[in-house]
């Protein structure tokens, strides 16, 4: 029998199921105990050290910690189904009542003479910026947008996450001596490499929404929008209304945000239409539930076939009805049932069928190796590129429909490397 390696901290982490399940390994029992004692600022600090954005996460985290919670297995007097402790929402409690926290913020160490550039001001870059600034690095964060926060600011609808929470928590990071060059999109990696940074961290997210390719799509393009672009336009106030009859294509959390936003912008008949079955949808169960509570039906096993229009004005979409068939290895195929196609009339279509990473600004001759799918080749653990001082997060490879915390563990590793 092999001896247990107790030199590996993971051995101890696994003892606390929820803490192990949290991608940032937040010490859950510790902060909940502090909340129980009314020490909200201390509880917030425990979170801030671990996951950087406790107020954001307390409202939006995908909360993988909760299915791991032991109370979910042992609570017997908790209705029909035992429920976990509300770990995520308790984080929000600490964030909302943390008076005196600002005075507890640590001060950055003395300058160590090293310069680091972060591309993007989303949670990934800001996590790196926070950790490195505290260690005395001179960190410069570039973002094409005016305000920091990345997709958390431009994609997560305001009814789920107030902007004041984003301002406050990104502010804690940017006020740690970090230089924020807003409105400055990096257009050339070669140029950035020439600016004398000791290390470059690329956290530019997954900015491209996948397109719908069916007949009629481009003829009716005025009424068909890529979900993430549409959500950003809603967030910036460029879009303030929507057609009365809306079809949202896709079964992930982006689709849920699109349909619930469409409802709030005046959509009266909003439907989510999904290729897969209800159980296989990628959206979190509570997101599906919230959409359904708002009277939004979810139609499963409908595959988009064509878009109908009259002189460019969208009139509806046709779907083929399919069913799931599994082979011996459990691989799923969607095959037509033979039923008649279904036509759904609509005025607007929102396409939320996935996202793609894009790095158009990294020249292929900059020295960073890319694979045949156009993604940078990265060290499996450190996410270091083939240029040793350039680190990248490939958002979709790490966690396709992610929540925030996975970045933080990755970031920690990258920070250690940058710092070494």
> At closest approach, how far in Å is the CB of 115 from ligand FAD?
17
Q: Which DSSP symbol is given to 9?
A: H
- Which partner from the list ligand FAD, ligand SF4, none does 203 bind, CB cut-off 5 to 8 Å by kind? ligand FAD
Pattern 189-208, ligand SF4, x by CB under 6 A: --------------------
Distant-in-sequence, close-in-space partners of 343: CB < 8 Å, separation ≥ 6: 308, 316, 317, 318, 319
Task: Determine the length of the chain.
Answer: 420
Q: Distance between alpha carbon 154 and the CA centroid of its chain, in Å?
A: 11
> At closest approach, how far in Å is the CB of 324 from ligand FAD?
26
CB contact at 8 A, 404 and 123: yes
Distant-in-sequence, close-in-space partners of 214: CB < 8 Å, separation ≥ 6: 304, 305, 306, 307
Q: Residue for token digits 């409690």?
A: 93
> At closest approach, how far in Å is the CB of 355 from ligand FAD?
7
Question: How far are the Cα atoms of 65, 133, 178, 331 from residue 231, in angstroms, in the given order?
Answer: 28, 32, 29, 33
Under the binding rule (CB under 6 A), the answer on residue 22 touching ligand SF4 is yes
Residues in region 62-81 near ligand SF4 by CB under 6 A: 63-65
Under the binding rule (CB under 6 A), the answer on residue 314 touching ligand FAD is no
Residues in region 324-353 near ligand FAD by CB under 6 A: none
CB contact at 8 A, 32 and 87: yes
Q: Which stretch binds ligand SF4 (CB under 6 A): 60-68, 92-100, 210-218, 299-307?
A: 60-68
Cα distance between residue 52 and residue 32, in whole Å? 17
- Which partner from the list ligand FAD, ligand SF4, none does 304 bind, CB cut-off 5 to 8 Å by kind? none
- Which partner from the list ligand SF4, ligand FAD, none does 186 bind, CB cut-off 5 to 8 Å by kind? ligand FAD
Pattern 181-220, ligand FAD, x by CB under 6 A: ----xx----------------xxx-x-------------
Helix (DSSP H) and strand (DSSP E) numbers for the chain:
17, 16
* Residue whose CB is less far from ligand SF4, 17 or 257: 17
Residues that bind ligand SF4 (CB under 6 A): 22, 24, 26, 28, 51, 57, 61, 63-65, 87-88, 91, 405
């Amino acid at each position: 029998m092999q001896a247990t390696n107790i030199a590996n901290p993971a051995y101890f982490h696994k003892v606390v199921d929820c803490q192990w399940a949290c991608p940032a390994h937040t010490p859950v029992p510790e902060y909940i105990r502090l909340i129980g004692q009314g020490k909200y600022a201390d509880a917030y600090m425990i979170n801030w050290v671990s996951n950087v954005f406790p107020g954001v996460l307390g409202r939006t985290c995908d909360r993988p910690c909760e299915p791991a919670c032991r109370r979910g297995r042992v609570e017997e007097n908790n209705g029909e189904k035992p429920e976990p402790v509300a770990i995520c929402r308790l984080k929000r409690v600490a964030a909302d009542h943390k008076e005196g926290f600002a005075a507890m913020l640590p001060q950055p160490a003395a300058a160590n003479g090293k310069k680091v550039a972060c591309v993007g001001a989303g949670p990934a870059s800001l996590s790196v910026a926070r950790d490195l600034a505290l260690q005395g690095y001179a960190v410069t964060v570039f973002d094409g947008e005016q305000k920091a926060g990345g997709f958390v600011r431009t994609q997560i609808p305001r009814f789920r996450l107030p902007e004041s929470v984003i301002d406050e928590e990104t502010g804690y990071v940017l006020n740690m001596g970090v230089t924020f060059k807003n409105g400055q999109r990096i257009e050339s990696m070669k140029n950035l490499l020439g600016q004398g940074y000791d290390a470059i961290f690329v956290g530019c997210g997954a900015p491209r929404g996948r397109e719908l390719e069916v007949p009629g799509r481009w003829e009716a393009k005025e009424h068909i929008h890529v979900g993430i672009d549409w959500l950003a336009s809603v967030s910036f106030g460029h879009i303030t209304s929507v057609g009365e009859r809306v079809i949202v294509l896709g079964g992930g959390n982006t689709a849920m945000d699109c349909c619930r936003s469409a409802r709030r912008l005046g959509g009266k008949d909003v439907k989510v239409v999904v290729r897969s079955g209800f159980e296989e949808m990628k959206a979190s169960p509570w997101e599906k539930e919230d959409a359904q509570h708002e009277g939004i039906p979810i139609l499963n096993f409908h595959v988009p076939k064509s878009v109908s229009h009259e002189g460019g004005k969208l009139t509806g979409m046709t779907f083929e009805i399919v069913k799931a068939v599994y082979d011996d290895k459990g691989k799923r195929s969607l095959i037509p049932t033979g039923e008649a196609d279904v036509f759904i009339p609509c005025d607007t279509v929102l396409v939320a069928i996935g996202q793609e990473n894009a790095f158009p600004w990294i020249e292929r001759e900059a020295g960073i190796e890319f694979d045949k799918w156009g993604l940078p080749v990265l060290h499996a653990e450190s996410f270091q590129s083939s240029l040793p001082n350039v680190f990248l997060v490939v958002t979709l490879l790490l966690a396709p429909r992610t929540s925030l915390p996975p970045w933080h563990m990755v970031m920690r590793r990258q920070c250690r490397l940058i710092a070494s």
